[in-house]
């Protein structure tokens, strides 16, 4: 089994992936939607707000209104368009959020530490969390009946509420839970770059025990991908590949050696 995570921009990269998925029956798809969510947030007069943790991880501040917009974008707009795109190419896709059937149960973050004006501040009451439990039975039921699960956030809190969660880390939780051999994180970069401006500075291989060095190299969203990779490997996934989505056959290329291989 392979878990493939893609961004949410329904464009060329997605149709390349969809082509590349033809005939595969061993895939679970997880997708994001951050850029589209930012656009809708602006349109609705509720500009996105982000905080950066002391360790350099960026996360979206998620209040009730943000959750509404998140549900609309991830689950309504991106998920259904992706499912449509797959289905129109004869793949039996079925979309789910972490809420549906209790697919992804998580823990709410009590407090988020972030840096502002050089000082550490605390954000409370944010609707953000991490996955603690995956309903593997539901996935097995669907896979066993021939469906391709297309999964996105929000995830479900203990109290039944919805939580925002990082989609790369969600994909890692799912990969670990279903004992996937591989987690493929497709992105708009060729992989982990030593210098983000220089595609030739690609780190082709990272060993599990040197992942902290990779984390130090990573910048911006790439940090979350390295964290996701770490969590996936810790959970028993054999190999994590971070690779370019903006190419033909992005999945095949990743499996054949392109991108950053972490194991």
Task: Give residues in contact with a copy of itself (CB under 8 A).
Answer: 40, 43-44, 68, 71-77, 79-81, 83-84, 87-89, 92-97, 99-102, 137-138, 141-142, 145, 147, 154, 156, 159-162
Q: In this complex, which beta carbon is closest to a copy of itself, that of residue 38 or of residue 77?
A: 77
For the chain, state the CA radius of gyration: 17
Q: In this complex, which beta carbon is closest to a copy of itself, that of residue 72 or of residue 115?
A: 72
Q: In this complex, which beta carbon is closest to a copy of itself, that of residue 84 or of residue 219?
A: 84
Q: Which strand (E) or helix (H) includes residue 183?
A: strand 182-187
Q: In this complex, which beta carbon is closest to a copy of itself, that of residue 43 or of residue 209?
A: 43
3-state secondary structure of 207: coil
Rounded to the nearest 10 degrees, the angle between the axes of helix 79-87 and helix 12-21 is 50
Query: Using CA atoms, how far apart are residues 87 and 43, in angstroms rounded to an integer?
Result: 29
Non-local (6+) Cβ contacts of 156 within 8 A are: 98, 99, 102, 103, 104, 105, 106, 162, 163
Structure tokens that stand for 210 in this block: 């040197």
CB of 171 to a copy of itself, least distance (A): 19
Structure tokens that stand for 96 in this block: 């789910």
CB of 145 to a copy of itself, least distance (A): 5
CB of 233 to a copy of itself, least distance (A): 31
Q: In this complex, which beta carbon is closest to a copy of itself, that of residue 154 or of residue 259?
A: 154
> In the chain, how many H helices and how many E strands?
9, 16
CB of 40 to a copy of itself, least distance (A): 8
CB of 252 to a copy of itself, least distance (A): 24
189 closest CA partner among 205, 175, 171, 202: 202
CB of 30 to a copy of itself, least distance (A): 16
Q: In this complex, which beta carbon is closest to a copy of itself, that of residue 81 or of residue 221?
A: 81
């Amino acid at each position: 089994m392979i878990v493939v995570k893609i961004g949410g921009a329904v464009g060329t990269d997605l149709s390349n992936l969809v082509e590349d998925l033809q005939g595969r029956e061993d895939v679970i798809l997880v997708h994001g939607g951050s850029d589209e969510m930012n656009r809708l947030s602006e349109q609705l007069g509720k500009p996105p707000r982000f905080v950066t943790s002391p360790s350099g991880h960026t996360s979206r501040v998620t209040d009730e209104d943000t959750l509404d917009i998140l549900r609309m974008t991830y689950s309504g707009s991106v998920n259904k368009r992706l499912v449509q795109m797959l289905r129109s190419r004869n793949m039996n896709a079925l979309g789910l959020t972490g809420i549906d059937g209790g697919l992804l149960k998580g823990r709410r973050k009590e407090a988020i530490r972030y840096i502002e004006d050089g000082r550490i501040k605390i954000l409370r009451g944010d609707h953000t969390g991490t996955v603690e439990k995956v309903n593997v039975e539901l996935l097995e039921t669907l896979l066993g009946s021939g469906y391709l699960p297309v999964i996105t956030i929000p995830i479900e809190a203990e109290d039944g509420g919805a939580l925002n969660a990082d989609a790369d880390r969600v994909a890692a939780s799912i990969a670990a839970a279903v004992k996937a051999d591989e987690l493929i994180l497709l992105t708009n970069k060729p992989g982990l770059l030593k210098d983000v401006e220089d595609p030739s500075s690609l780190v082709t291989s990272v060993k599990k025990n040197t992942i902290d060095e990779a984390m130090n190299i990573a910048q911006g969203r790439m940090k979350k991908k390295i964290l996701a990779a770490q969590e996936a490997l810790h959970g028993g996934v054999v190999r994590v590949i971070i690779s370019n989505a903006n190419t033909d056959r992005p999945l095949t290329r990743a499996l054949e050696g392109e991108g950053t291989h972490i194991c």
